[in-house]
Structure 1
Amino acid sequence: MLSDRSTATIRATLPAVGAAIGDIADLFYEKLFAAHPELLRDLFNRGNQASGDQRRALAGSIAAFATALVEHPDTRPDVMLERIAHKHASLGVTPDQYEVVHTHLFAAIADVLGDAVTPEVAEAWDEVYWLMANALIAVETRLYARRGVTAGDVWHTWEVAARIEETEDVATFVLRPADDTPAPAFRAGQYVSVQVELPDGARQIRQYSIVGAPSSRLRSIAVKRVRGQGTPDGEVSRHLHEHTRVGDLLRVSVPYGDLVLDDLEAPLLLASAGIGCTPVVAMLDHLAQEDHKGPVTVVHGDRSPADHALRADHVRLAERLPDAEAHFWYEAPEDGHPENRTGLVDLDGITVRPGTHAYLCGPLPFMRAVRARLLEAGVRPADIHYEVFGPDLWLASS
């Protein structure tokens, strides 16, 4: 994939670029938003920019891609690329935006590294960037085509048909197409982007997993209110909780996401924590409707039963499967809750069947701990799938 000449240059400069990639990402976004303030207002998540999460995710993905090109020249990190491409498609990212990113990213590289960026170094990193960008463009083009939409034209207007208060901090919004057209198909575990206009005129976008099986023409999203203190964190969830009622209209994208059941013949393990239960409940609903007979292990951790959003559905759907077992951990359980299910999720004592395919969703520390335990139990790395709400910091924290 990467030319021999560029491979040698990337191998030699990767330590220096890797050490400076955080500074490069910071300066890149500064330059990008100075030239294109509309991108921060209407495309990028302002909360993730304020917290630095988006910068860390960008730095991690670039470093991981370059490392993969050097260390595994005959393969491509398609899992990482697919996850990014699905997120981009749900936002309506277009190929021309990669040119904009290229301009400001390479200006940031030149400013941070200075004289170290020789023409040869610039040429090699340019090759890395366009290998990654063109691979993403190709995947995104396929994703748009599968949905029958053009790049950037992913939005439809939906009406709020019902609102259900699940917990103090989680509300489910039941949606239907405002024009009464059929709802786009989706696979259990996928998400939609929701765009709302905030009081300052910004049109901010967030992703929410679709709750429920794909058979219904209605679509439900469970939104957890993020209580940010003096930052843009949670501004969309807060707006939805405080202002969105039955009859209101929302701009919603067609569904995307790569956390989907890929092998129903294998034993399944569905592990979640907090609001990460939403794609898992959708998977359970799908399995129940398909009359799934195979073994399914359900694992979930939460602060308390009262904080466990969709708890009744989580329990009911697991009970509908003939060969399923559910294990719930609570940090503050009700009286009578098993002592060995108190505190954080601990897979010790949980049977992990040979050939298990695992699906994880929740906070990053939770998923890393569960993944480590599954690897110890003999689950193949390729059979452990995960979803991150927000920027994918898995690589950035490795």
Structure 2
Amino acid sequence: MLSEKSTATVRATLPAVAAAIDTITERFYGRLFAAHPELLRDLFNRGNQAAGLQTRALAGSIAAFATHLVDHPEDRPHVMLSRIAHKHASLGVTADQYKVVHQHLFAAIGEVLGEAVTPEVADAWAEVYWLMANGLIAAETRLYEERGVLAGDVWREWTVAARVEETPDCATFRLRPADGAPAPAFRPGQYVSVQVELPDGARQIRQYSLRSAPGGELRSLTVKRVQGDPDGEVSGHLHARVREGDRLRVSAPYGDLVLAGDEVPLLLVSAGIGCTPMVSMLQGLAADGYRAPVTVAHADRSPAAHALREEHTALTGRLPDAAAHFWYEAPGPGHPADRTGLMDLTALPVLPGTRAYLCGPLPFMRAVRGQLLARGVPAADIHYEVFGPDLWLAQG
């Protein structure tokens, strides 16, 4: 709960802080990495830092959290904190790192805003920071306890049991624990972090959805090679260098894009490699004998680019009341005209009480969410997963 005095101060200074937040976060990361270069080398995504994506995500999170506290000083935005906490737990973030962040963040605020940061203003914003930080620390502590690991000790060696080329730019890696111990349980839709050592010695980390159904000793990750400017460091390494018999450092499973457990109409919407958590959900639903209606919607460049297309289709067919709808920008002969091009859900039946799950590029999910809201699906029933910095809040 934000104190009454701090609420008034934060409300008064929020416009000035929000206007300067991009500069503040940029200055913060510069200070942080100058003092702790190992964090950029071994924890933060160097590509996202170079592109400014992480800076924008942090700025959006701070602004959204502060705005929520001003509007609702009696509580915290738990959905936003949950998503961040799961990501942090998969990276092995520990409570002591929040003190380091506080030190450099508030030094950056002082540098950018100067004399406007009076002791009263500094104290009010410190209260905002520690409400957010302590909420995350508590959530991450619970997540570590649920996994039966010490705080930050989430890593384990896994052996690549098989590698399968799904498409020219997607490969599946089937893993088993290198120590022969049981694989940890997970819920369909969750992900793991994978840490690889790159040629320059950096140990970079990325998140990938678990594709296999819970149970058994194998876990499957389907990885799309990121090509662009720059190319994906970790996905490129996995595609170019990792073969059967190699070992990978993999975290415990985390992620809050999971099915609730009750039987309601479901809408599973994805684009590109965002199909991986949806395929995992379909496996779980089929194994559980799910009987409520399930609608699957997926968008991709072409049938050949659609990773796991056969599995996507077959698993939908195993459910008693399910249908799959695929949109392709470059479809093959005979593909329906109304499923050609960008996904459009306006003509798709959406039953009352539908709960929707989204995964794919952020612009795609924002467009789909807008369509669903227009169809009367409550915002609380639309859930999403973002891999990489969560720019949803940063984009308004």
Aligned to 2:98: 98
- Say whether the 8 Å CA contact 2:90–2:154 is kept in structure 1: yes
Aligned to 2:335: 337
The reply to whether residue 145 of structure 1 matches residue 145 of structure 2 is yes
Aligned to 1:226: 226
- Say whether the 8 Å CA contact 2:193–2:207 is kept in structure 1: yes
1:238 to 225, 231, 236: 236
CA distance in 1 between partners of 2:64 and 2:216 (Å): 39
The reply to whether residue 32 of structure 1 matches residue 45 of structure 2 is no
SS in 1 for 2:70: helix
CA distance in 1 between partners of 2:258 and 2:151 (Å): 23
Aligned to 1:316: 314
The reply to whether residue 395 of structure 1 matches residue 393 of structure 2 is yes
- The alignment of Structure 1 onto Structure 2 pairs a total of residues equal to 396
Instruction: Letter of the 2:244 partner, please give it.
Output: V
Where does structure 2 lack aligned partners over 5 or more consecutive residues? Answer: none
- Say whether the 8 Å CA contact 1:212–1:286 is kept in structure 2: no
**Alpha-carbon distance, 1:264 to partner:** 3.1
CA distance in 2 between partners of 1:174 and 1:211 (Å): 10
CA distance in 2 between partners of 1:13 and 1:393 (Å): 23
CA distance in 2 between partners of 1:237 and 1:228 (Å): 12
**Alpha-carbon distance, 1:215 to partner:** 2.0
Aligned to 1:385: 383
CA distance in 2 between partners of 1:383 and 1:73 (Å): 24
Residue deviations 1:121-174, cap 9 Å, x none?
A: 000000000000000000000000000001110000000000000011100000
Residue deviations 1:9-50, cap 9 Å, x none?
A: 000000010010000000000000000000000000001101
- Say whether the 8 Å CA contact 1:85–1:139 is kept in structure 2: yes
Which residues of 2 match residues 107-186 of structure 1 at below 5 A? 107-186=107-186
The reply to whether residue 281 of structure 1 matches residue 279 of structure 2 is yes
CA distance in 1 between partners of 2:261 and 2:378 (Å): 14
Root-mean-square deviation (Å):
0.7
- Say whether the 8 Å CA contact 2:268–2:358 is kept in structure 1: yes
- Say whether the 8 Å CA contact 1:263–1:357 is kept in structure 2: no
Which residues of 2 match residues 51-90 of structure 1 at below 5 A? 51-90=51-90
**What TM-score, normalized to structure 2?**
0.99
Aligned to 2:17: 17
Aligned to 2:270: 272
Instruction: Letter of the 1:177 partner, please give it.
Output: P
SS in 2 for 1:396: helix
Instruction: Letter of the 2:286 partner, please give it.
Output: A
Q: 95-104 or 214-223, which moves further after superposition?
A: 214-223
Where does structure 1 lack aligned partners over 5 or more consecutive residues? Answer: none
CA distance in 1 between partners of 2:274 and 2:392 (Å): 16
Identity of aligned residues (%): 73
**Alpha-carbon distance, 1:228 to partner:** 3.1
SS in 2 for 1:173: strand
SS in 2 for 1:353: coil
- Say whether the 8 Å CA contact 2:211–2:280 is kept in structure 1: yes
**What TM-score, normalized to structure 1?**
0.99
CA distance in 1 between partners of 2:104 and 2:87 (Å): 21
**Alpha-carbon distance, 1:76 to partner:** 1.7
CA distance in 2 between partners of 1:294 and 1:264 (Å): 9
Residue deviations 1:323-351, cap 9 Å, x none?
A: 00110000000010000000011001101
- Say whether the 8 Å CA contact 1:273–1:300 is kept in structure 2: yes
**Alpha-carbon distance, 1:75 to partner:** 3.0
- Say whether the 8 Å CA contact 2:166–2:172 is kept in structure 1: yes
CA distance in 2 between partners of 1:5 and 1:62 (Å): 19
CA distance in 2 between partners of 1:167 and 1:283 (Å): 21
